[in-house]
Amino acid sequence: MEQHFGFPLETILIFFAVIAVSVYLDLFAHKKSTEITLGDAARWSLFWVGLALGFYAYLWVRFEQAWADLYLAGYALEKSLSVDNLMVFMAIFASFGIKGILQHRILYYGILGALVFRAIFVVIGTGLFHASPWVGFVFAAFVIWSAIKMLQQSDDEEDIEDYSNHWSVKLTGRLIPVYTKLHLDRFFVRHHQLLENGDGTGKDEGSVPASVTRKGLLYATPAFLCLMAIETSDIAFAFDSVPAVIAVTQEPLLVYAAMIFAILGLRSLYFVLAALTKYLVHLEKAVIGLLFFIGAKMALQSWNHAIGDTGISISPGWSLAVVLGMLAAGVIASFLFPGREEKEGGDEKPAE
């Protein structure tokens, strides 16, 4: 496609209006929630997927099917990569002992941060790609390296990292004193609040509260440390996912739209995957294979532009078919050929 999609003002206004209203509705709907049920998470997941497909339909009707297919392929790819990211989030929550509604609150602020960081990465990434076709080879190497890294991690599933010792947690602890216990659902707690609650050696302001790393006026709680680990991990994920989506389409608006619609549904998808992750045993293999395909596609595209036209190209329609086909194959294979642990677990009877 020689022409560029660009930044149609109408599309930009519709996109950001939908995002703003959706974020507000999500926040308002869960403002008084005390616990997130699987049914509630599933309904919100369907809402976010439906919203993303609605934007796909808009692109198809308003512009061309090719542009819509590029967006949908990028969305499906980002969504599938997010599944692996959510597995890391589960490990982070386990490291800090975060459960229930507090997970929901931390994910909300984590996703708001992801919206900002993804925008920065997309602008830089697409700018570099358009500056020189040789940059595509670097992005292709990033994507293939991500696939190899995932392949290595899948061979060592028992090695679970303790994120309470993550570098971001240690850095936060140097910048601000830490109260080592959870305090309601707060990220920070003041010195006088701990003393009023009787958590100290005395009730005067000079007393040192118990369970703190050092005395201060304000203390970070494990909830905030968990949020820092989530945010820094998401930035690391962006180095993998942004080049992968740019490999599908180099149009900044389509890249950002694909990533944002995928990210907005992560919070609800987390609670669904927490229940379904043991069943989707082959989905990660499909994602790994997909990353190898995307890396090869970008390398081929860069070769055609930087070195010489090979006469071989992969159309937006074929890219979409491969992305959706491989993900569907991973899901179907997971139910047709369940893992050994699931089979053994399925034979066990619940204790009475």
Mapped onto helix, strand or coil, the DSSP state of residue 200 is strand
Can you give the pLDDT at residue 136? 75
Percentage with pLDDT > 70 across the chain: 79
Q: Please report the DSSP string for 223-272 in residue order.
A: HHHHHHHHHHHHHHHHHHHHHHHHHH---HHHHHHHHHHHHHTHHHHHHH
How far is residue 126's CA from residue 137's CA, in Å, rounded to a whole number? 14
Cα angle vertex 265, ends 262, 267, to 5°? 130
Higher pLDDT, 83 or 3: 83
Q: What is the mean pLDDT of residues 58-63?
A: 88
Q: What global pTM score does this model have?
A: 0.70
Domains of the chain: which residue ranges?
A: 9-176+221-337, 179-220
Q: What is the mean pLDDT of residues 307-331?
A: 77
Higher pLDDT, 54 or 20: 54
Residues contacting 341, CB < 8 A, separation 6+: 278
Q: Please report the DSSP string for 90-140 in residue order.
A: HHHHHHHT--THHHHHHHHHHHHHHHHHHHHHHHHHHHHHHH-TTHHHHHH
Q: Are 99 and 185 in contact (CB under 8 A)?
A: no
Confidence of residue 57 (pLDDT cuts 50, 70, 90): very high
The pLDDT tens digits for 209-230 are: 667 778 888 888 888 988 888 8
Residues contacting 1, CB < 8 A, separation 6+: 66, 316
**Across 189-193, 237-241, 326-330, least confident range:** 237-241
Q: What is the mean pLDDT of residues 242-269?
A: 79
Residues contacting 209, CB < 8 A, separation 6+: 179, 191, 194, 195, 199, 200, 215, 219
Residue 189 has pLDDT above 80, yes or no: yes
Report the range out of 215-224, 262-271, 300-309 with the highest average pLDDT: 215-224
Q: Please report the DSSP string for 27-76 in residue order.
A: HHHTTT-S---HHHHHHHHHHHHHHHHHHHHHHHHHS-HHHHHHHHHHHH
How many C-beta atoms surround the C-beta of residue 57 within 10 A?
A: 11
Mapped onto helix, strand or coil, the DSSP state of residue 179 is strand
The pLDDT tens digits for 65-110 are: 888 888 888 888 888 777 667 777 877 888 888 877 788 788 878 8
Q: What is the DSSP letter of 7?
A: -
Can you give the pLDDT at residue 2? 41
Residue 49 has pLDDT above 80, yes or no: yes
